[in-house]
Chains A and B, each alone.
Chain A
Amino acid sequence: MIRVEQLCVMRNRKRLLDDVSFSLRRGEIVALLGPNGAGKSTLVTALSGLCRSTHGSVEVMGRPIAAYGARERAHLLAYVAQQQDFIWDLEVRDIVRLGARSLSDADATLAKLGLVELAERRIKSLSGGERARVMLARALAANTPFLLADEPAANLDIKHQRRAMRLLCDAARERDTGVLVVLHDLNLAFAFAERVLLMHQARLVLDGAAAAVAASPDLDRVFGERFTRATIDDRTVVFPTGDAE
């Protein structure tokens, strides 16, 4: 389990995270929502051990994240960054292998993400969406107990957005991976996540089941939009229909 207790992060006298507490269990998929600047990416980087907390704690499997070495941490958490640098024009297969525990894990993940046809292509020759799928494959191939993904669906078309989310759900169900995924598409989050965390101005304002968060008036307040709700196939769908009062 990842347990976050009263986490605060400050940089240049600015509060980036303020008293954030929640937990992420293995096997569950949790979406992290909030407007730009709410602190979602900072929270994910703090969980991955990349950013030091000013106050509070992040524990992974009962130990503070800072107590793990880089290699140990990589065996516990895989991370897909929001923006990805590609200095070297490596082949897709090589990139996925760099993240994988074994060659068979890498090849299986390539097949599962439908990347076999692209396996020998160079990463810089791919579209933004294809690159995002490769980096997701790289993280999934690591086969870690937890996976943190910062907007992995951002550059994907609708078909591949849903496919990526299904893969994250599969990872949670089949491999018992705890998945925390930052999303901007509210309906994608409500469709696939079991639980939703809603952030606003560096604070965690809601932590609950997807349907409960979708129904909450806090959603309108946080995004400054008036949402109309509908239920389709037992899932709540929201449509922005004007400025919130």
Chain B
Amino acid sequence: MRPGALTLSLAVAIALIGILVGAMLGVVNTGPLRLLAALLASDPTPDDVLIAWRVQRVTGAFLVGACLAIAGVIYQGSFRNPLAEPFLLGSSAGGALGAVFAILLPLSWLAAVGLPILAFVGAWGATLLVLAISRAARIEDAAGMLLVGIALAALLGALRSTATLVLSDESVSLRALISWTLGGLQSPTGATLLVFAVLTAVCLIASLGLARRLDILGFGESTAATMGVDVGRFLTLSLTVAAFATGLAVAWGGVLAFVGLIVPHTVRWWIGERHAPLLLHSAFVGGGFLAILDGLSRSLLAPSEIPLGLLTSLIGAPFFLLLLVRRYR
């Protein structure tokens, strides 16, 4: 289907339905009217507060999903590799390593301000490392680049585990840390949610500014250079935006595999591969997708909560295998 007002309206509808369904699901499922009543209550009961908290959390999940989808589209366009995504490229692992340092180091200011910053630095560093290693080894094919990313992700994961074991003490719950690493959404307050929403919007706007050059890069670096793209400078810029989006997602949602792969590919099948509409639609669909998964993670085994990262892997890994089979058949 050609992208346009209709498809964008559908993507927004998917986002809104995702937030609604995600907020309705939980230990006790609620209907939409009960949800509305809880949100509008002038004298909220404890149940109302719990439901309102759920809405905030699901909105956070929506923003994490949007960031991961945006990052996935940019990584795929920049690496000219349809299988690239933040988790497989080691970018999420880099972000998680940075975030774990922010949590574990005994500096109080780090936990508040430093978490997203170190997550971004980690995600960015890992991405640039994958690019540098691939270029040094003259690896240009999709599979080779992913292998570099997977090896780097394993190394960064081991470093993160080591840091967790060495640096954790009674002040930081090891269980909570591991749960977060597996994809445990933070429950942002209204103010932080607003900051998160603004930063996500900045990522989306910045990514739309990259869209035309991502289209051109698909013809190859040489052709892109003759069509006015300063390839080296552009890649630095695009990977910075992608790492920023990944860092934001990791800071609020931990390591969530395959969201940056499932969502852009599904949207590609739906509206085509031009990057501007792809980014816009993927942001909404990715947000809606993760909002629903968040609801399922809280309700499937209630009162226990399934780490969100396990759910995304359970869905994403078979999806990735399907893409591989299609690619090599």
- A residues sitting closer than 8 Å to B (CB atoms) are 45, 48-50, 69-71, 73-75, 77-79, 81, 84-91, 94, 98-99, 120, 122, 142
Contact = CB atoms under 8 A, between A and B. Distances in A.
A44 B80 CA distance: 24
Given A87-B82, A89-B273, A77 B226 contact: yes
A126 to B, nearest CB: 15
A120 B81 CA distance: 24
Interface string B223-236: 10111111100000
Nearest to B230: A70
A98 B215 contact: yes
Given A69-B230, A70-B230, A94-B274, A86 B219 contact: yes
A50 B228 contact: no
Interface residues of B, number: 24
Contacts of A79: 223, 226
Contact of A85 (B212, B220, B225, B272): B220
A90 B222 contact: no
A90 B274 contact: yes
Contact of B227 (A45, A86, A98): A98
Interface in B196-222: 212, 215-216, 218-220, 222
Contacts of B228: 70-71, 73-75
A85 B218 contact: yes
Nearest to B80: A87
A79 B229 CA distance: 13
Given A70-B230, A98-B212, A86 B223 contact: no
A87 B218 contact: yes
Interface centre among A81, A87, A99, A122 (most CB of B within 10 A): A87
Nearest to B232: A70
The 4 closest A-B CB pairs, nearest first, are A74-B228, A79-B226, A85-B220, A88-B218
Interface centre among B226, B229, B272 (most CB of A within 10 A): B226
Interface in B79-110: 80-82
A69 B274 CA distance: 26
A149 B219 CA distance: 15
A142 B230 CA distance: 17
Contacts of B215: 88, 90, 94, 98
Contacts of A81: 220, 222-223
A73 B226 contact: yes
Contacts of A120: 2
Nearest to A77: B226
Contacts of A74: 226-228
A73 B230 CA distance: 10
Nearest to A148: B226
A88 B220 CA distance: 11
Contacts of B223: 79, 81, 84-85
B225 A50 contact: yes
A122 B271 CA distance: 12
A186 B12 CA distance: 57
A89 B226 contact: no
A146 B216 CA distance: 20
